[in-house]
Amino acid sequence: MRTVFTPHHALHAPATEFFRGERVPCFEKVERARSVHEALIRSGHRIDAPEVDSAPVLAQVHGARYLNFLETAWSRWLALDPANADRQPFPSTWPIRTLRADREPAEFSAQLGVYSMDSGTPICAGTWAAAKAGADAAATAAHWVSQGERAALVATRPPGHHAGPDFMGGYCFLNNAAVAAQALRNAGCSRVAILDVDYHHGNGTQAIFYERADVLFVSLHGDPLTEFPFFLGHADETGAGAGLGFNLNLPLPAGTLAPAWFDALATGEQRVRDFRPDALVVSLGLDTFEHDPISKFKLSTVDFHTLGQRVAALGLPTVFVLEGGYATAELGLNTTAVLAGFEQP
């Protein structure tokens, strides 16, 4: 399978996040993409650098003020205090219910609250460059697939599916799956389906396409009653306006085993088939792995091979976009297991 990779992912390397009140090393780390890159080389997949500028598509899926905030965030953080070079910005005040998000505050720290859904998504000096390179990779894979390639993998980090129209969160800044889907639409696909199999609900992707009938969003994930992102991903979220009926959430309890997970996948596959899309984007989170350090489903490497086969059976031009997956040592092998299943004759 053709794959897109860029070493620029390593420019996003924040040091710590908060876990149970303490600072711990980030789970979403540079070694994740290295693990995937090495496995792609070992298994002989073709690897290319991004070759499409995603800027026009980014402007279709994210707000202009948010994009400007993200691009300038690090320099504005440094402008507050040069000593901030060795510190990470974290939001501390959010425009929650009864407070106003429509008046953009002038203060950087306040804007950080406006444009963040959580305090778990640290920005560092290279965050914009790495995230932009990832979005370029997603636009590149969509371009290849629209030109007749059967499938492609976007092998980048940071992930994207929690990033909404105008906010970051859940380790995500730019929504790569949304970029891929919108780029496929721009290239002439009438209908694009997104299948999100990350452990966590893809709240950002759902939000971006919630009122649209041309992009179907189907997601299997840990029940938000107990799992991040907590405040979206319930089964009663079915779309709104023109998009009513074009959003399908399949929440599953923490601890779900492979048979029940694949049953839910069958439900999602049927919805994708009924939609009759021209192309498919898979938000490929591999944090459903049984040994993932922050997630609670129980899929094995063999199950990821089966997942690849099941996706291939949909018979659609497919862009795989890497999302979560924090068992770093096994992430590469789990990724190539999906590709091997997909390509098995």
Residues near ligand Q9C (CB under 6 A) = 17, 19, 120, 159, 161-162, 170-172, 198, 200, 228, 285, 287, 294, 323-324
Provide the 3-class DSSP secondary structure of residue 305: helix
What single string gives the DSSP state of each residue in 17-45? EEETTEEEE-SS-HHHHHHHHHHHHHTT-
Rounded to a whole number of angstroms, the minimum distance from the CB of residue 199 to ligand Q9C is 6
- Name every residue whose Cβ is closer than 8 Å to that of residue 318 and which is 6 or more positions away in sequence: 145, 150, 151, 152, 279, 280, 281, 282, 311, 312, 342
| Alpha-carbon gap, residue 246 to 213, rounded angstroms | 6
Rounded to a whole number of angstroms, the minimum distance from the CB of residue 18 to ligand Q9C is 7
Of ligand Q9C, Zn ion, none, which one does residue 294 interact with (CB within 5 to 8 Å by kind)?
ligand Q9C
Contact between 287 and Zn ion by CB under 5 A: the answer reads: yes
Omega cis (within 30) before 7: no
Rounded to a whole number of angstroms, the minimum distance from the CB of residue 228 to Zn ion is 8
Picking from 184, 185, 161, 183, the residue whose alpha carbon sits closest to that of residue 173 is 161
- Name every residue whose Cβ is closer than 8 Å to that of residue 295 and which is 6 or more positions away in sequence: 199, 200, 222, 227, 287, 288, 289, 324, 326
Q: What is the separation, in whole angstroms, between the first and last Cα of the chain?
A: 13
Binders in 51-90 for Zn ion, by CB under 5 A: none
Contact between 17 and Zn ion by CB under 5 A: the answer reads: no
Of 101 and 294, CB closest to ligand Q9C: 294
Of 185 and 200, CB closest to ligand Q9C: 200
β pairing state of 215-222 and 192-196? parallel
Of ligand Q9C, Zn ion, none, which one does residue 171 interact with (CB within 5 to 8 Å by kind)?
ligand Q9C
310 within 8 A of 258, measured Cβ to Cβ? no
Structure tokens at 188: 């002439």
Of Zn ion, ligand Q9C, none, which one does residue 172 interact with (CB within 5 to 8 Å by kind)?
ligand Q9C
CA 70, 74, 79 angle in degrees (round to 5)? 125
Of 172 and 183, CB closest to ligand Q9C: 172
Of 16 and 270, CB closest to ligand Q9C: 16
Catalytic residue (one of 8, 62, 162, 200): 162
Of 159 and 243, CB closest to ligand Q9C: 159
In the residue annotation, 37 being an active-site residue is answered as no
| Alpha-carbon gap, residue 265 to 307, rounded angstroms | 9
Stretch that binds Zn ion, among 59-67, 118-126, 230-238, 319-327 (CB under 5 A): 319-327
Site string for Zn ion, 239-278 (x = CB under 5 A): ----------------------------------------
Provide the 3-class DSSP secondary structure of residue 99: coil
Which element (helix H / strand E) includes 2? strand 2-4
Radius of gyration of the chain (CA): 19
Contact between 169 and Zn ion by CB under 5 A: the answer reads: no
Of ligand Q9C, Zn ion, none, which one does residue 136 interact with (CB within 5 to 8 Å by kind)?
none
Closest residue to bound ligand Q9C by CB: 324
Of 120 and 317, CB closest to Zn ion: 120
Q: Which residues are catalytic?
A: 162
Name the site residues for Zn ion (rule: CB under 5 A): 198-200, 285, 287, 324
